[in-house]
Amino acid sequence: MFMLINCSNCRTPLQLPPGARSIRCAICQAVTQIADPRAVNPPPATHHWPPPGPPSSASPSPYNHAPPGPPPNPHGRKKAVIVGISYRYSRHELKGCLNDAKCMRYLLINKFQFPESSILMLTEEETDPYRIPTKYNMRMALYWLVQGCQPGDSLLFHYSGHGSRQRNYNGDEIDGYDETLCPLDFETQGMIVDDEINATIVRPLPHGVKLHAIIDACHSGTVLDLSFLCRMNRSGQYSWEDHRPRSGIMKGTSGGEAISFSGCDDDQTSADTSALSKITSTGAMTFCFIQAIERGHGRTYGSILTAMRAAIREAGGSGGDLGGGVVTSLLTMLVTGGSGIGGGFRQEPQLTACQPFDVYAKPFSL
């Protein structure tokens, strides 16, 4: 398990490998010595990225301040990190992920009143080098998302891209595998493992803060390592499956609430497809999530999940001609596109949470 410390020179958050007694900062090259790694605490929320430095002609970093202006509502701030990765010009290229990111941003601003200034977009289309979805930038974006969060805040993390899994060795996974997200540079820098995602955006959540994750990727069912998975059958009956590690490793929040919708179960794949829209390619899960909201199924978590699953089953069985409705009107804004996988894909969106609840009674809100 990684721990977070601050560089002794420039205060950049660093991840300390298990058992390490020192670490070199990749920014200023200073070496920080650790007397007892077990005594290390996460860095205070007041530290910002990147550290102060000489003026640069590059665009200002999105991580060096909280969203400007007053809170959007009296109950707290809204902040979001949206990641869409197409892996263009590679053998891993996806067609719909940039569309997913743009549609999610549109939904958050126009349906859920997220201020534009509080939404951090990481895609290959960004010109700011800090907003390219590399592993380093994705890590820093996740730090930024929870940085300084206060009771009443609503946080959202949306990811559309490749996901994978790898053998687990610390005993905290029921199926023996860690789920992962694949940054743009994953082939050289490696993947982001669910343990790190949990440590970065789940465990720090204080009481009164709410986090939603919408993860459109393969093998994404438990990619936040949340403690409970909603196991639902096709008739809508469900029970909560306990995924708390038998090893006793802490995976919960610090009193806050974390809920995740994901594209498929841990052993399934998620489609990047044109089957759901005749306009352009999208991630099947993102499309069906937005469609559920726009068609009035967003009252509860259960109504969203059942609507998403029904739409994907219908698309898989009928060749995908759902008709986009309001969602199609969102997609017409986009100039990118391309052909994707045809109909017939098989995936079941999943719901996980830090605590079980009545999915048909708990209101959904961002």
**Is 209 within 8 Å of 196 (Cβ atoms)?**
no
- Cross-strand pairs, 241: 229
Q: Which two tokens stand for residue 331?
A: 């997609």
Q: Which two tokens stand for residue 143?
A: 């730090």
Cα 35 from Cα 15, distance rounded (Å): 16
The DSSP symbol for 202 reads I
Cα–Cα nearest to 138, from 184, 207, 71, 96: 184
The residue count for the chain: 366
Judged on CB neighbours under 10 Å (0-12, 13-18, 19+), 338 is middle
Which amino acid belongs to residue 119?
A: I
**Is 260 within 8 Å of 223 (Cβ atoms)?**
yes
Q: What are phi and psi of 316, to 5 degrees?
A: -65, -30
Cα 23 from Cα 292, distance rounded (Å): 46
- Cross-strand pairs, 78: 154
* 3 state SS of 272: strand
Which amino acid belongs to residue 307?
A: A
**Is 179 within 8 Å of 81 (Cβ atoms)?**
no
Catalytic residues: 162, 218
**Is 182 within 8 Å of 176 (Cβ atoms)?**
no
Cα–Cα nearest to 214, from 366, 33, 333, 316: 366
